[in-house]
């Protein structure tokens, strides 16, 4: 109806515009004396006439187009609700099949099916059968507040480890809705910090097949640099070592390497960047003495070759140590790195592992995938609060 009124208004404006142009021209003509009109140049008269004829032709074309659109809209029949119900009752009373509705009543079958679909949708219950339980929504909010850097995919993977099937889109919808009662009214919006697959991934086919090693810098007391050596297994993404170093030299890196090998065994390959520590003779001797580990150097400027370790460094610095107010010394940093290893390996779902934990993949204890209809909160959930980083981990008790 509003479209129809708008078309009529446009047509009226065009008609008024034509009348104003004509009136203006006639007014100008009246003001001119016959003597002046007779004295006008013939070329000026021709220009004026050509201009007015073109303008009138344009306006006539626009009016014609609008008239056709209005006529076409008027020909399109719209049935009221009463007429639709009458047609359906008529078909039911005289047993007219749906496939012959066009023959009997002149109505397209697609139109009839659209009517019936609308009736069926309105007849459904107001509350859908697959509505998310309130206690599950509360658990999603609880996990979000305890791990404010997590995105919807990581939260869905955490729920999968707890035996609850919830898609990432459902998690997003829960977080977009108001928070359930008996919880704070506001919660920090989760940032998208999902792990991205590195551009040049290094293949690893079993645990201890490929390790990568790197050092990163953190600050104790907010001022003094401390190097941390991080070693990670490519297959399981398990942190094999996260050790603060007394100094940035090969001796301390070799000590961290020896501790990791003593605890988990030696890998077949190890990848590092081309830092002076890793291309030293002492580091090469260490690899030779531990079952002749094959050393591979990452390409300069190609971050994909050591991206797994770089991503672990980023998680250590920005998802763990950044939540600690201040690092009070080397012993405090040792405790923080040990807790980080426990949280990263045993509690945190990893995006590159389809939401599984690194320890589950490394030791071959993968949990069963929850059923699609598993939307109830389990009772045997185990939680652990990492006080210094203010992060809460969740898992099933039987998984521990």
Within a domain: 204: no
28: Cα separation from own chain's centroid = 67
Statement: residue 376 has pLDDT above 90: no
- 357 and 215, same structural domain? yes
- Using one digit for the tens of pLDDT, what is the confidence trace for 254-273? 999 999 999 999 999 999 98
Q: Count the domains in the chain.
A: 4
- 16 and 58, same structural domain? yes
- 347 and 374, same structural domain? no
- 226 and 329, same structural domain? yes
Q: What percent of the chain has pLDDT over 70?
A: 81
Within a domain: 101: yes
- 275 and 226, same structural domain? yes
Statement: residue 185 has pLDDT above 50: no
Nearest to 343 by CA among 326, 363, 357: 357
Average pLDDT over residues 1-12: 70
Maximum average pLDDT range among 59-63, 72-76, 147-151 = 147-151
pTM given for the model: 0.57
Average pLDDT over residues 355-373: 87
What domain range is 114 assigned to?
87-123
The pLDDT of residue 173 is 87
Q: How, if at all, do strands 224-233 and 210-220 pair?
A: antiparallel
Within a domain: 202: no
Within a domain: 197: no
- 357 and 328, same structural domain? yes
Per-residue pLDDT band for 123 (boundaries 50, 70, 90) equals low
Statement: residue 124 has pLDDT above 60: no
- 347 and 265, same structural domain? yes
Nearest to 66 by CA among 138, 13, 134: 13
Alpha-helical regions (H) of 184-329: 250-264, 281-289, 307-314
The pLDDT of residue 343 is 93
List of residues 6+ apart from 3 with CB closer than 8 A: 73
- 340 and 308, same structural domain? yes
Statement: residue 313 has pLDDT above 50: yes
- 362 and 215, same structural domain? yes
- 69 and 8, same structural domain? yes
The pLDDT of residue 337 is 94
If one compares 250 and 148, the residue with the highest pLDDT of the two is 250
- 227 and 358, same structural domain? yes
- Using one digit for the tens of pLDDT, what is the confidence trace for 196-239? 434 455 688 999 999 999 999 999 888 889 999 999 999 999 99
CB-based contact 216:320 (threshold 8 Å): no
Query: For the chain, what is the mean pLDDT?
Result: 80
Average pLDDT over residues 116-138: 67
Within a domain: 337: yes
- 221 and 264, same structural domain? yes
Task: DSSP for 128-147, please give it.
Answer: -TTPPPHHHHHHHHHHHHHS
Task: Give the least confident one: 64-73, 90-99, 160-169.
Answer: 64-73
CATH number of domain containing 265: 3.30.420.10
Say how far apart CA 386 and CA 307 lie, in whole Å: 27
Within a domain: 201: no
Say how far apart CA 394 and CA 349 lie, in whole Å: 10
Nearest to 171 by CA among 196, 195, 190, 188: 190
Q: How many degrees, rounded to 5, is the angle at CA 195 between CA 154 and CA 338? A: 80
């Amino acid at each position: 109806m509003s479209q129809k009124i708008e078309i009529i208004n446009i047509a009226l404006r065009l008609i008024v515009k034509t009348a104003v142009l004509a009136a203006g021209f006639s007014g100008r003509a009246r003001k001119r004396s016959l003597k002046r009109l007779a004295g006008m140049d013939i070329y000026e008269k021709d220009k004026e006439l050509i201009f007015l004829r073109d303008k009138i032709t344009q306006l006539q074309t626009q009016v014609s187009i609008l008239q056709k659109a209005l006529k076409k809209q008027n020909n399109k029949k719209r049935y009221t609700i009463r007429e639709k119900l009458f047609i359906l009752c008529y078909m039911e009373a005289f047993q007219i099949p749906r496939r012959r509705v066009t023959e009997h009543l002149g109505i397209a079958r697609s139109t009839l099916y659209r009517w019936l679909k609308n009736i069926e949708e309105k007849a459904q219950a107001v509350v859908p059968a697959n509505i998310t339980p309130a206690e599950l929504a509360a658990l999603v909010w609880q996990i979000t507040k305890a791990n404010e850097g997590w995105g919807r995919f990581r939260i869905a993977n955490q729920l999968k480890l707890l035996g609850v099937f919830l898609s990432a889109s459902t998690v997003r919808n829960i977080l977009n809705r108001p928070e359930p009662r008996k919880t704070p009214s506001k919660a920090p919006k989760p940032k998208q910090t999902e792990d991205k697959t590195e551009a040049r991934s290094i293949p690893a086919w079993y645990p201890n097949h490929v390790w990568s090693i790197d050092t990163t810098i953190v600050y104790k007391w907010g001022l003094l640099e401390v190097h941390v050596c991080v070693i990670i297994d490519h297959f399981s993404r398990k942190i094999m070592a996260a050790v603060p170093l007394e100094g940035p030299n090969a001796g301390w890196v070799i000590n961290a390497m020896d501790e990791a090998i003593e605890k988990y065994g030696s890998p077949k390959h190890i990848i590092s960047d081309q830092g002076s520590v890793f291309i030293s003779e002492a580091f090469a001797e260490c690899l030779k003495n531990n079952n002749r580990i094959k050393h591979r150097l990452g390409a300069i400027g190609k971050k994909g070759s050591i991206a797994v370790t770089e991503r672990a460094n980023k998680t250590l610095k920005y998802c763990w140590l950044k939540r600690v107010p201040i690092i009070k010394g080397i012993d405090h940093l040792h405790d923080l790195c040990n807790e980080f290893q426990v949280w990263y390996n045993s509690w945190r779902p990893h995006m590159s592992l389809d939401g599984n934990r690194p320890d589950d993949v490394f030791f071959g204890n993968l949990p069963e995938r929850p059923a699609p209809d598993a939307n109830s909160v389990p009772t045997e959930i185990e939680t652990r609060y990492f006080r210094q980083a203010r992060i809460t981990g969740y898992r099933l008790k039987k998984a521990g």
